[in-house]
């Protein structure tokens, strides 16, 4: 301590009189409580200066806060009293220039009083000292010997409790060579907290499995832990001073540098940024936070790095599986309901490009596309192959040389393609050498593939029922990763699905062609066109696979130059409906030859019942429209069996004006139902009118009433004044695109009478003169028509028929002659029963009339009418 008699009561923060403030490093101690850094504010470092006798020369304000003693009460006194019980210091001996003694009411106990006082541990409520053996004289002695001392002291607070402080003391010398002691005091509780924080930080860096780095304000690494050094594959020291763009290359480094600058500038953290590691090794998840001290100053950026390589690999595998599943679903949805071999091949080639490959090709055995039999096991070079489906990411001249839709393809047995066709095992081609070895040297297709940059290819068998139908070939270029084993497995699954779909389409084509062949064989091959009538028709099969419908139509020549028009629809689809339709058509043609009225014919058909059904347990049902037209009388008789009503198109005096009306007829019930009578409606038909018969496939559609479809047909017919063929096409074109996939049968007949003068008719009374009069009128008419060569036979047959009517009918007798494609003669009488042909014996005088008619005419017959019966015969014109 100083021996110059310094005033012990120097105000706090000032050196005692006669002492100059220390300079240099020592001057920092005189900064007092205003520490420059926030860490010092947290630690609250108290500074005390003593002389070598232990007398206080300087007492900083932080010392006042830590121990509670004011500077004016303790400066100039010895510190020994702080180690003892709280008793008053004795008054110091006043010096001549000393100021008046301060009030000692709050003064700490003197060192001398402390020596006589009870030991600290006996003091009431006093905590034990941290360093009991360390007395002031011992500390000063060690300072004088070594120049420094450190340790933990237990000092007495003014309030009576003990404060433990970590103390660092040094022996210093001022400019005059006088020694003094400088002591720094820090409460141990605050120091321990800081030590724990630092220990936690060290533990985080040293033992954390996460990579941790600290970057300064220049975004250079200043600290890196071992985990991050291991991730980056370089020592910790090698990181220091580097920026991220000096560790990573390319866009990744630029992106991370931008993120670091953003965090440093804004203070907003960025979490879980996934980026590739150095040299592309694995993947890292990086999180950045800005570092700020307690005073709010920005220090830099902290980085936390997690190795997420396994996570990314798992995510990549999951994404790859998702993409493959999506591809399989896409393929399945695209080919769902497609039953065309060529279209399926095209879809497969198109959907795999560019999702799975840059180029794709589907090659099939040629018979597969037309529903032929499966190719035999194995592979023969003579078997025709054709490329049906192709796909390319870009259609360039080399791609067009390599892939040509519909091109015939040939492979040798020893080539890769022939091996796959023969054995059914897929092949993975990798590298230019393997690609060149696929076929013969100089193959233009292989050269085109190499020109396109193809580096990898898959050759996959399209299998079905254990037989290879063809090949699915896929290729990738150098711009993409080559095919691997996983791609090969996916390709095999795609090829298997393609093979199954192609085989289903092949069977569909086979069955559909068979059903259509059956149906076409049951429809009329040619329709008659008698004078005055023009006919057009269309039949459109439904689009519901091999399930063809039972729609049909027919035009049947009847006796007397009349025509029967019939359109029907058997309920259901498939072979059963087609077979039922064939039986129904045969029955109608058979009964039509009996010249029955339309309602009678439908009644007879309905009575056939189960005989027309393929399956007696399920029964059958059909709708039909049957019309009979007589060109000689221009009358038409129509009956319906639950069928859509016909439409009659009439033209007035102005050909440009058209009237299409739906005939209001009794609809009846479908055939096969029974219990309801059918009705025939007769109407006069003007020359040139068009009768339109159709099935419900023409007028039905989803979400619309059938009446709307009939109205659409009527409007279309009004707008057509051309040929019947054009009208048929217009009606089919007007169909609703959303209609049900049902068959359509359409029949149009332009009805016209015979030319003027082609028909004559007479009525004779039931008298003997009727025969003579009839013979005369017939002969005169034939001469007028220029047919005298037919007079003899015609007169003979008319005489026989009129004689029969006189003998049995006893009523008026009608005779009608019609000149058309043949000569028609009709004899009518009121007798309802038709004549019966019998074989007359050699001695019989009668019974030969009908034999004579049957032998001399081309054909003959009888029919029932409302007033009786009619016997008719036809003679061929010369």
**Mean pLDDT on 631-648:** 91
pLDDT for 320 = 81
Q: What is the pLDDT of residues 283-335, one digit of tens each?
A: 889 999 999 887 788 999 999 999 888 888 888 888 888 888 888 888 888 88
Q: What is the pLDDT of residue 331?
A: 85
Calpha distance 211→145 (Å, rounded): 49
**495/464 Cα distance (integer angstroms):** 10
Query: Is residue 561 classed as helix, strand or coil in its secondary structure?
Result: helix
Strand residue runs (E) in 86-210: 148-156, 162-173, 179-187
DSSP letter for 701, please: B
**Residue 721: its pLDDT value, please?**
59
Window from 308-312, 524-528, 692-696 with minimum mean pLDDT: 524-528
> pLDDT of 772-803, one tens digit each?
999 999 999 999 999 999 999 999 999 988 88
Q: Is the pLDDT of residue 438 over 80?
A: yes
pLDDT score for 809 = 75
Cβ atoms of residues 828 and 813 within 8 Å: yes
Q: Is residue 124 pLDDT above 50, yes or no? A: no
Q: Position of tokens 């057009």?
A: 536
Inter-CA distances, 233 with 95, 140, 211, 226, 280, Å:
74, 54, 12, 10, 12
CA angle 177/181/183 to nearest 5° reads 145
Look at residue 93 in the predicted model and tell me its pLDDT. 44
Instruction: Identify the band that residue 762 occupies on the pLDDT scale cut at 50, 70 and 90.
Output: very high
| pLDDT tens profile 724-736 | 888 898 888 888 7
pLDDT of 614 over the 70 cut: no
DSSP 16-64: PTT-PPP-GGGGGGGGTT--SSHHHHHHT-EEEEE-TTSBEEEE-HHHH
Residue 789 vs residues 232, 267, 757, 857, 860: alpha-carbon distances, Å: 119, 122, 19, 14, 20
CA distance 96 to 860: 174
Distance CA 172, CA 589 (A): 139
Residue bearing the bigger pLDDT, 637 or 333: 637
Per-residue model confidence as pLDDT tens digits over 334-393: 888 788 888 999 998 989 998 899 999 999 988 888 877 777 777 777 788 889 999 999
Contact between 286 and 273 under an 8 Å Cβ cutoff? The reply is yes
Residue with tokens 């009118």: 689
d(CA 491, CA 474): 9
Task: Please list, in sequence order, all residues whose beta carbon lies within 8 angstroms of the beta carbon of residue 358, skipping any fewer than 6 positions away.
Answer: 392, 393, 452, 454, 475, 476, 477, 479, 480
Give the CA count within 13 Å in the CB-facing half-sphere of 320: 11
Please determine, for residue 626, whether its predicted confidence score (pLDDT) is greater than 90.
yes
Query: Can you tell me the distance from the alpha carbon of 44 to that of 35, in angstroms, rounded to the nearest whole number?
Result: 9
pLDDT at 22: 38
DSSP state of 120: G
- Helix H or strand E encompassing 389: strand 385-392
pLDDT digits (tens, 9 = 90+) for 175-234: 888 899 899 888 887 778 777 777 777 777 777 888 899 999 999 999 999 888 888 888
Query: For the segment 647-674, what is each residue's pLDDT rounded down to a tens digit?
Result: 999 876 555 567 888 999 998 899 888 7
Task: Using the Cα atoms of residue 391, residue 396, residue 398 and residue 401 in order, give the sign of their dihedral.
Answer: positive
Higher pLDDT, 822 or 301: 301
3-state SS string for 783-799: HHCCCHHHHHHHHHHHH
- Measured on CA atoms in the order 26, 32, 34, 37, is the torsion positive or negative? positive
Q: How many residues does the chain have?
A: 878
pLDDT over 90, % of the chain: 20
Q: What is the predicted pLDDT for the residue at 543?
A: 56
pLDDT recorded at residue 613: 64
Q: Given its phi and psi angles, is residue 849 left (phi above 0), alpha (psi -120 to 50 degrees) or beta?
A: alpha
> What is the tens place of the pLDDT at every residue in 422-431?
888 999 998 8
pLDDT at 657: 66
CB count in 10 Å sphere of residue 438: 19
Alpha helices, DSSP H, located in 523-643: 575-592, 598-608
**Nearest Cα to Cα of residue 563 among 623, 635, 470, 503:** 635
Look up residue 535 and give its DSSP letter.
Answer: E
pLDDT at 32: 37
Predicted local distance difference test score (pLDDT) of residue 740: 66
Tell me which of 117 and 551 has the higher pLDDT. 551
- pLDDT beyond 60 at 30: no
Residue from 665, 685, 684 nearest 624 by CA:
665
pLDDT of residue 834: 65
Give the position of tokens 């076409």: 520
What single string gives the DSSP state of each residue in 327-364?
Answer: HHHHHHHHHTT---HHHHHHHHHHHTTTTT-SEEEEEE
Residue 777: CB partners within 8 Å, gap ≥ 6?
Answer: 760, 762, 815
Mean pLDDT calculated for residue range 116-121: 39
Q: To the nearest whole number, what is the mean pLDDT of the chain? A: 80
For residue 296, whether the previous peptide bond is cis, meaning omega lies within 30 degrees of 0, is no
User: 102 vs 72, 151, 825, 830, CA distance in Å?
Assistant: 8, 32, 165, 165
Of 258-267, 485-494, 509-518, where does mean pLDDT reach its minimum?
509-518
User: Is the pLDDT reported for residue 266 higher than 90?
Assistant: yes
Average pLDDT over every residue of 109-118: 44
Q: What is the mean pLDDT of residues 509-518?
A: 73
What are φ and ψ of residue 106, in 5° steps? -110, 15
> Whole-model pTM?
0.52
């Amino acid at each position: 301590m100083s021996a110059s008699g310094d005033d012990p009561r120097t105000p706090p923060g000032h050196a005692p009189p006669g002492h100059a403030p220390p300079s240099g490093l020592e001057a920092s101690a005189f900064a007092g409580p205003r520490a420059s850094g926030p860490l010092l504010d947290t630690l609250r470092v108290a500074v005390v200066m003593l002389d070598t006798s232990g007398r206080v020369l300087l007492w900083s304000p932080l010392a006042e806060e830590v121990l509670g003693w004011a500077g004016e009460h303790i400066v100039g006194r010895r510190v020994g009293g702080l180690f003892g019980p709280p008793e008053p210091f004795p008054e110091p001996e006043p010096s001549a220039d000393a100021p008046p003694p301060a009030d000692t009411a709050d003064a700490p106990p003197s060192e001398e009083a402390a020596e006589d006082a009870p030991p600290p541990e006996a003091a009431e409520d006093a905590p034990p000292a941290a360093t009991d053996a360390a007395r002031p004289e011992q500390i000063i002695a060690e300072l004088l010997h070594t120049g420094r001392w450190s340790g933990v002291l237990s000092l007495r607070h003014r309030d009576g409790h003990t404060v433990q402080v970590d103390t660092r003391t040094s022996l210093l010398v001022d400019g005059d060579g006088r020694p003094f002691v400088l002591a720094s005091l820090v409460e141990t509780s605050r120091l321990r907290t800081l030590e724990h924080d630092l220990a936690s930080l060290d533990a985080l860096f040293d033992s954390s499995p996460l990579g941790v780095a600290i970057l300064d304000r220049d975004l250079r690494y200043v600290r890196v832990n071992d985990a991050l050094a291991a991730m980056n594959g370089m020592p910790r020291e090698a990181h220091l001073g580097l920026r991220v763009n000096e560790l990573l290359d390319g866009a990744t480094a630029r992106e991370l540098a931008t993120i670091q600058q953003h965090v440093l500038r804004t203070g907003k953290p960025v979490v879980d940024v996934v980026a590739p590691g150095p040299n592309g090794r694995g993947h890292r998840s990086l999180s950045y936070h800005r570092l700020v001290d307690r005073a709010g100053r920005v220090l830099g950026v902290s980085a936390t790095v997690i190795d997420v390589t396994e996570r990314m690999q798992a995510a990549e595998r999951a994404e790859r599986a998702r993409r493959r599943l999506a591809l399989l679903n896409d393929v399945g949805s695209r080919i769902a309901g497609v039953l065309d071999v060529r279209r399926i091949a095209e879809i497969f080639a198109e959907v795999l490009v560019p999702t799975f490959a840059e180029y794709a090709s589907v090659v099939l055995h040629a018979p597969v596309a037309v529903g032929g039999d499966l190719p035999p096991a194995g592979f023969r070079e003579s078997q025709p192959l054709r490329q049906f489906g192709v796909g390319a990411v870009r259609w360039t001249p080399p791609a067009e040389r390599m892939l040509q839709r519909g091109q015939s393809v040939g492979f040798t047995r020893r080539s890769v393609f022939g091996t796959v066709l023969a054995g059914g095992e897929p092949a993975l081609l990798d590298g230019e050498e393997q690609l060149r070895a696929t076929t013969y040297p100089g193959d233009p297709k292989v050269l085109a593939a190499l020109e396109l940059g193809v580096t990898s290819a898959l050759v996959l068998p399209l299998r079905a029922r254990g037989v290879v139908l063809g090949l699915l070939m896929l290729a990738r270029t150098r711009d993409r990763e080559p095919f691997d084993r996983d791609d090969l497995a996916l390709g095999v699954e795609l090829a298997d699905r393609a093979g199954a779909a192609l085989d289903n389409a092949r069977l569909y084509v086979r069955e559909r062609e068979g059903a259509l062949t059956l149906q076409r064989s049951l429809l009329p091959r040619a329709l008659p066109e008698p004078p005055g009538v023009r006919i057009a028709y269309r039949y459109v099969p439904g689009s519901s696979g091999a399930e063809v419908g039972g729609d049909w139509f027919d035009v049947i020549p009847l006796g007397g130059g009349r025509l029967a028009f019939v359109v029907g629809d058997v309920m259901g689809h498939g072979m059963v409906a087609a077979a039922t339709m064939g039986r129904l058509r045969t029955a109608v043609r058979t009964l039509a030859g009996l010249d029955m009225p339309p309602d009678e014919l439908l009644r007879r058909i309905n009575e056939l019942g189960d005989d027309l059904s393929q399956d007696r347990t399920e029964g059958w049902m059909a709708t039909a429209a049957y019309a009979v037209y007589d060109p000689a009388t221009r009358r038409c008789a129509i009956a319906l069996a639950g069928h859509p009503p016909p439409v009659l198109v009439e033209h007035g005096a102005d050909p440009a004006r058209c009237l299409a009306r739906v005939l209001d007829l009794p609809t009846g019930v479908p055939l096969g139902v029974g219990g309801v009578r059918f009705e025939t409606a007769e109407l006069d038909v003007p020359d040139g009118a068009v009768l339109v018969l159709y099935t419900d496939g023409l007028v039905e559609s989803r979400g619309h009433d059938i009446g709307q479809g009939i109205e659409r047909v009527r409007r279309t017919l009004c707008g057509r004044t051309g040929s019947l063929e054009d009208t048929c096409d217009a009606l089919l074109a007007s169909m609703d695109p959303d209609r049900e996939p049902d068959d359509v049968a359409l029949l149009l007949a332009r009805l016209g009478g015979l030319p003027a003068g082609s028909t004559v008719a007479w009525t004779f009374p039931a008298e003997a003169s009727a025969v003579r009069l009839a013979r005369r009128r017939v002969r005169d008419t034939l001469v007028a028509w220029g047919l005298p060569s037919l007079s003899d036979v015609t007169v003979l047959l008319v005489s026989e028929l009129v004689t029969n009517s006189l003998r049995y009918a006893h009523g008026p007798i009608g005779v009608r002659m019609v000149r058309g494609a043949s000569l028609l003669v009709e004899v009518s009488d009121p007798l309802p029963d038709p004549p019966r042909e019998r074989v007359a014996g050699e001695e019989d005088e009668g019974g030969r009339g009908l034999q004579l008619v049957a032998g001399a005419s081309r054909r003959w017959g009888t029919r029932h009418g409302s007033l009786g019966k009619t016997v008719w015969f036809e003679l061929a014109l010369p």
